[in-house]
Amino acid sequence: MTTTSPVETGLNDQGTTLSRPMSATFLLITVLVVAASLRASITSVGPVLSLIAADTHHSKSLLGLLGAIPLAAFAIVSPLVHFLVRRFGTERAVLLALIVLTGATVLRSIPGWDGWLWIGTAIIGAAIAVGNVLLPTIVKRDFPNRVAAATGAYVSVLSGFAALASGIALPLGNQFGWRIAIGSGAILSLIGAIVWLPRLQHQ
């Protein structure tokens, strides 16, 4: 017997038939667009550490902690994601994470107080942790007969945009300043939130 996902069959979590089931193509697009936003805010920092150090007068060794903070947030938040899902549902939890990720990426780039850099980075790590946990689960749910292919596409986009963000960060930083370089990832997460929004009608 072929297994199909609740979204593909036009059923919500309560088993109520939905009038407009979403296509598998659109479901995959939403996953890939979100995946594109899950690393850019992290990988864009390393290449511009020298610019941040010159502007903030912090040592590079201290600023190197900016790469460790998201990892600590992953470890702390990941076990708690199921509480978020229980409260809001899977699709809403992902949307909330994208909105928080967008806001935190902008917050981290606000001039005037260096503390925003650290606070924003911690919040970014927490938001990304939600996506790290839920996106693979959503892939398995929505594409039960194509898990390997969908997972491969998800991982490729995740890795590709992580590399792209890292590669363009320094040129952006040299041209427009490091705050623009590390804040530009907010564009990706905002697009991700907009593209993800239709899923809430099918949760």
Q: What is the pLDDT of residues 17-32, one digit of tens each?
A: 344 678 999 999 999 9
What does the pLDDT read at residue 12? 46
Q: What percent of the chain has pLDDT over 90?
A: 82
The per-residue pLDDT of the chain, averaged, comes to 89
Residue 6 has pLDDT above 80, yes or no: no
pLDDT band at residue 147 using 50, 70 and 90 as cut-offs: very high
Indicate whether this model's pTM tops 0.85.
yes
Q: What percent of the chain has pLDDT over 70?
A: 89
What would the mean pLDDT of 85-103 be, rounded to a whole number?
A: 97
Exposure letters 2-39 (e unless 16+ CB within 10 A, then b): eebbbbbeebeeeeeeeeebbebeebbebbbbbbbbbb
What does the pLDDT read at residue 102? 98
Q: What is the DSSP string of the chain?
A: -----TTTTTB-TT-PBPSSPPPHHHHHHHHHHHHHTSSHHHHTTGGGHHHHHHHH---HHHHGGGGHHHHHHHHHHGGGHHHHHHHH-HHHHHHHHHHHHHHHHHHHT-TT-THHHHHHHHHHHHHHHHHHHHHHHHHHHH-TTSHHHHHHHHHHHHHHHHHHHHHHHHHHHHHH-HHHHHHTHHHHHHHHHHHHGGGGGG-
Residue 13 has pLDDT above 60, yes or no: no
Of residues 146 and 15, the one with the higher pLDDT is 146
What does the pLDDT read at residue 203? 62
Quick: pLDDT tens for 24-62.
Answer: 999 999 999 999 999 999 999 999 999 999 999 998 889
